[in-house]
Amino acid sequence: MPLTKQEWLSLEKKVYELRKLTLDTVHWAGSGHIGGGMSVLDMLTIIYHKYANIKLEDPEWADRDRVIVSKGHAGIAYAPVLVDLGWNDKEQLKTFNHTNSKMGIHLDSNKVEGVDFSTGSLGHGLSMAAGSGLAARVQGKNFKTFCILGDGECHEGSNWEAAMSIAHYNISSVISFVDRNGCMIDGKTEDIMKLEPFVDKWKAFGFEVKDIDGNNFKELAEAIDYAYDHPEKPVMIVANTKKAEGIGFMEGDYVWHYGAVDENNFNKCHKALDEHYKKRVARAEKEGA
């Protein structure tokens, strides 16, 4: 279903709240993966608030759509999304990364409600997504599996084993994303180890590729709708994003892969998010239908 203006605005409001909650969580934790957390939040928000077939009263419902955050270090953004859904006590976010907390950098599916798969070691999520999709086929079920990779993660060869198998078995119930923010810990992906021509790589492995702005709900919705409507081929959504999307002075800078939000920049970050929200609302008002 195409994204209506009303839906778009409501997603903007939701992701604004989630960016704020993520920022607070980084602050409570002392530091965190703020760059890749902020860049992936639009994907997580649209998946959980427009597409995923889930039951809020039962996060383990057997026929639910699954979500795999293969870039597991985005846990600091993923946990707020799950808490906001009513899963897990909100107070837990205040303990993020603290000793004996249920929530650490990489979320544990046996400890955090709503996490379908534990991730953290990179290059694992897409294979598990393939297995989840094949299981749906064996069981005669219709659930979908959303899998979000990081772009730096795509250096791991195991992703390409998984890509081959998703195309070979045409597991189109798996809808894959790469959060293409262009950055990793040590620098830009293209400086560290080239991924380009990235879209062509996925095409060559047998995917229909949607090369879009991953911080734009309209483009995300169009790409996901395309995947729903075209089960004949698996879809990879290369979501071009900005590292730390929403916090102007951090945006696009790899040094904010992991960073501290202290008393000095905490208010500055919140102000940046307020400004960002205004711009995003204006865009939705202008481009929405």
Partner 1 sequence: MAGGLTYTSVDSTELSTSEKYGEALVELGKNHPDVVALTADLAKSTKMVEFMKQFPERFFNVGIAEQNMFGIAAGMAKAGLTPFVSTFAQFASFRVADQLHSDICYQNVNVKVIATHAGTSFGQAGSTHHAICDVALVRSIPNLTVVVPADGHETYKAVMAAYENPGPYYIRMNRGFDRVLYKDTNYDFEIGKAIQLRDGSDLTIIACGSCVFQALEAANFLEESEGLKIRVLDMHTIKPIDREAIIKAVSDTRRLITVEDHSVVGGLGSAVSEVVVDTGKACAFKMLGVPDEFAPIGLHEDIMSILKIDANGIIEGVKEVMGKDFEEDDDWDDEV
Instruction: Tell me how far, at minimum, the Cβ of 210 lies from partner 1, in Å.
Output: 23
Tell which one of 1, 58, 62, 263 touches partner 1 (CB under 8 A): 62
Which residue, 34 or 130, has its beta carbon nearer to partner 1? 130
Interacting positions 65-104 with partner 1 (CB under 8 A):
66
Of 76, 15, 79, 64, nearest to 220 (Cα)?
A: 15
Distance CA 247, CA 35 (A): 9
Count the site residues for partner 1 by CB under 8 A.
Answer: 34
Distance CA 179, CA 32 (A): 18
Interface characters, 121-160, with partner 1 (x: CB under 8 A)? x-xx-xxxxxxxxxxx-xx-x---x------------x--
Tell me the window of 13-21, 27-35, 106-114, 274-282 that interacts with partner 1 (CB under 8 A): 106-114
Instruction: Tell me how far, at minimum, the Cβ of 162 lies from partner 1, in Å.
Output: 5
Distance CA 157, CA 269 (A): 36
Which residue, 32 or 72, has its beta carbon nearer to partner 1? 72
Which residue, 41 or 178, has its beta carbon nearer to partner 1? 178
Instruction: Tell me how far, at minimum, the Cβ of 61 lies from partner 1, in Å.
Output: 12
Q: Does 162 bind partner 1 (CB under 8 A)?
A: yes
Pairing of strands 259-260, 31-32: antiparallel
Q: Does 288 bind partner 1 (CB under 8 A)?
A: no
Q: Does 218 bind partner 1 (CB under 8 A)?
A: no
* Furthest C-alpha separation in the chain: 54
- Angstrom CA distances, 276 to 39, 47, 180, 248, 282, stand at 13, 21, 20, 8, 10
Tell me the window of 118-126, 204-212, 219-227, 261-269 that interacts with partner 1 (CB under 8 A): 118-126
- Spell out the residues 6+ positions from residue 212 whose beta carbon is closer than 8 angstroms to its own: 219, 220, 222, 223, 237, 238, 239, 240
Helices (H) and strands (E) in the chain, counts: 9, 9
- Identify the DSSP state of 254: G
Instruction: Tell me how far, at minimum, the Cβ of 120 lies from partner 1, in Å.
Output: 7
Instruction: Tell me how far, at minimum, the Cβ of 132 lies from partner 1, in Å.
Output: 4
β-pair partners for 68: 147
The contact set with partner 1 (CB under 8 A) reads: 62, 66, 108-110, 116-118, 120-121, 123-124, 126-136, 138-139, 141, 145, 158, 161-162, 164-165, 168-169
